[in-house]
Amino acid sequence: KQEVTQIPAALSVPEGENLVLNCSFTDSAIYNLQWFRQDPGKGLTSLLLIQSSQREQTSGRLNASLDKSSGRSTLYIAASQPGDSATYLCAAPPKAAGNKLTFGGGTRVLVKP
């Protein structure tokens, strides 16, 4: 059974600092690796998706890497802004599960102005 872990559970940084969020998973035979953002009391918004054959994906200030052999993904957010404050969730569905997502517990980020 896939288990997804996110460390740290919470992170507080001053504005302008780079953010590094970690995600680890136990079953490396994943369908893809997805990063989501969740604002308080809201649904999830997809940020980045890395196909199992890819090593990284970039969108603006966001960059996500994937190392299947070690069961890890890292989300980098450059030059953080107060608007980046949210909870970030990763999901690593195993190939056998198709698109039934297995989520980590999330990292709650606070960017202080």
Positions in the binding site for another protein (CB under 8 A): 4, 32, 34, 36, 41-46, 49, 89, 98-106
To another protein, the closest distance from the beta carbon of 94 in angstroms equals 12
Residue 68 sits at φ, ψ, to 5 deg, of -65, -35
DSSP 10: E
- For another protein, the closer CB: 47 or 77: 47
To another protein, the closest distance from the beta carbon of 91 in angstroms equals 8
How far, in Å, CA of 4 to CA of 100, rounded? 13
- For another protein, the closer CB: 43 or 60: 43
- For another protein, the closer CB: 76 or 103: 103
Pairing of strands 4-7, 19-25: antiparallel
Closest to 48 measured CA to CA, from 104, 88, 95? 88
To another protein, the closest distance from the beta carbon of 89 in angstroms equals 7
